[in-house]
Structure 1
Amino acid sequence: MIWATERLLEGMVGLASLVRLAPFAIAGIFSGLEAENVAVGVVAAHADAPDIALGTVFGGGIFVACVALGLGAVLFPLRVDLPRRVLLVLAASPLVAGLALIGDRTSRVAGAALLVAFGLALGYLVNASRRHRFLAAGEALEAAEKSRQWWVPALLTLVGIGVIALGAELVTFGAERMISIYSVPAALVGMIVTPAAIELEEVIRQAIPAKEGRPDISAGNLVGTVLYFVLFNLGLIAVAAPVRVSSLTRELDWPFLVAATWLAAAFLWRGGVSRLQGGVLLLLYAAYVAAHLWFR
């Protein structure tokens, strides 16, 4: 998966130079899209498994904001200058997601609103990145010269995404086997175990670009992934197969998602995430897991 992430990194940098978009935006669009997360959420919704369906949104979002960003920063501190309004969009996204939690079930109207909000948010991310300089001029020129043929970065991007998705499937299969062998309570699977298993590769997606001197891609992956999870995935679930909303989701998972996203946005607002701040995010996730164990 490390090899695949490195290929994905090369592909996104090259693709960004070809389409004249910032690598931050390319990472948000392509790396942020989690096909396996979408699939699990929709299938679980149709199977009337609300904890698993909503876990891909809330549990997944919390995992990405706390563990992927936090552990990635502990390994390789993240220093990046992001457009302030993009960070405001990031912080607002979990609040907008709360629309789907009104009532006993997610509504199709709220789902449609979330999908519209996702389109607007992603469009704004792309537009804002056009006017923002993430890298020095020399670094941008060097990145642009690495791939001149259009099919090379496109192929690298597709190969990277494909191998990472395959790796995620293997991780998920292994986690499910562990659950069955060790009899982990089913109630914990939805919000904690399944999201962690599906999104484990996000740690690598955060760490490798930062290690390779591309913190803008790490940040783009984070912002894009959160937007996909809390707006697109939740909107799609609500439209395709409305699910029951438990009081625990409304009173525990959603507030933790808001807190995790706001804390991550606050750190990025100040110019990045240090090792200490990464540790704080990991502690927040530990508190989230502990709360689930306590209330379950």
Structure 2
Amino acid sequence: MDDGYRVDVTTVVAAVLFLAGIALVVWSVEHFVEAVARSAVSLGVSGFFLAVVLAGVDLENAILGITAAYGDLSSLALGTVFGEAVFVLAVAVGVAGVLMPFETRVPRSYLLITLCVPIPMAALSLAGTLTWIDGALLTLSFFPLLLLVYALERRASTRYMVAEEVEEVIGLEEEAAEGSTSSDGEDSRGSWYHLGVAIAATVGMTVGSALAVRGAEGVLTAFGLSGLAFGATVMSFIASLEELFLTVEPVRQGRPEIAVGNVVGSTLFYVTANVGLIALIGPVDMGGAVLTVQWPFFALALVLVVAMFYRGRVGRLEGVALLALYVGYWIANYL
């Protein structure tokens, strides 16, 4: 009985560490993004470009993945990449479609980029393992993609959002972090304040990711779970909840362009820099369930969402189909 009690206590402690770590990472990342965004507004960059960078670049997932990889849990790290990618495509877009069917006219160039961007990762995965060289190539490929989006946004024929919408993107980031509507007034706090917030948030991200990975390791040991499956489902689901807000809320406000920016930016980041940074730390096994579960569900979700955006409408039927796909994804991970 004492042994069973000790196991139960250990499991509970591990679960609490995991949840507390995830919460601290998410909170820290959102405050870090807000602090950086306040400095970026003055640059007058395209709103869609800023949405791709601020909403799409998922720092918490990257930090959790890197910390897991350093802890010799590369399968857990890879699971978070695929899991969050599928979550953004299937759950975030699906819920938005079910609650508030929306129409959007996405420039074809962005749809083509989003559809083709996983190809390098898929090609490098054919060898069965991603090496540090593959990781370097994938990480470096993210920056030309950002420059491409920036260049397209500077052209009137492909511009998707105007500069005045930058404040809306930042406002949504603030609401996701604080659960309240941002003020329309100017932020009178100085740059030193925002620098301090960014530094404090960086410390929070580091501590939170360490706690989350330590807790996840304890949960995996206690229940005998696969790191890949756990990362792709439980860990990515909890860490991705703010992605749901950043997709649904813009649609509710009649600004689906911001939601599309989140989807496009997230997809670009997950399959380039995110998985690349993990591979830089250590070899990543791309065989087994990665080929039979992760890639097929991710590819299907991506094709469906791109097809919906191409058609220009995401309705309730499409939303239900995406949510059903995500349910199937969870089931497939544990079969």
C-alpha separation between the residues in 1 aligned to 2:36 and 2:258? 8
Distance 1:62 1:220 in 2: 16
**TM-superposed deviation, 1:254:** 1.2
Q: 1:48 aligns with which of 65, 72, 93?
A: 72
For residue 175 of structure 2, what is the aligned residue in structure 1?
none
Over 3 Å counting, the alpha-carbon distance change for 1:10 and 1:102 in structure 2 is: closer
In the other structure, the counterpart of 1:256 is 297
Return the TM-score normalized by structure 1.
0.78
Q: What letter corresponds to residue 62 of structure 2 in structure 1?
A: V
Alignment CA distance shift 1:129-1:11 (3 Å): farther
Write the mapping of 1:54-65 to structure 2, written as runs, cut at 5 A: 54-65=78-89
Task: Give the distance between the partners of 2:188 and 2:332, measured in 1 at CA.
Answer: 49
Alpha-carbon separation, structure 2, partners of 1:136 and 1:204: 22
Identity of aligned residues (%): 31
Bigger Rg, structure 1 or 2: 2
Quick check: 1:196 aligned with 2:237?
yes
Please tell me whether the aligned partners of residues 9 and 209 of structure 1 are also in contact (alpha carbons under 8 angstroms).
no
- Report the CA distance between 1:79 and its aligned residue: 2.4
1:66 aligns with 2:107: no
Determine if the alignment matches structure 1 residue 95 to structure 2 residue 119.
yes
* Number of aligned positions between the proteins: 284
Give the Å deviation of 1:180: 4.6
Q: TM-score, normalised by structure 2?
A: 0.70
* Equivalent residue number for residue 225 of structure 2: 186
Task: List per-residue Cα deviations over 1:18-56 (Å, max 9, x = no partner).
Answer: 433332210110111222211111121222223211112
Match of 2:281 among 216, 240, 248: 240
Contact 2:246 2:259 in 1 (8 A): yes
Contiguous gaps of at least 5 residues in structure 1: none
In the alignment, structure 1 residue 120 sits paired with structure 2 residue 144 = yes
CA offset digits 1:242-271 (Å, max 9, x no partner): 222331102221122111111111111122
State the match for 1:29 in structure 2.
53
Q: Does 1:79 align with 2:120?
A: no
The answer on whether the counterparts of 1:107 and 1:242 sit within 8 Å (CA) in structure 2 is yes
Listed as ranges, the gaps of 5+ residues in structure 2 are: 1-22, 169-183
Distance 1:81 1:121 in 2: 21
Distance 2:81 2:87 in 1: 10
Q: Say if 1:63 and 1:196, in contact at 8 Å, map to a contact too.
A: yes
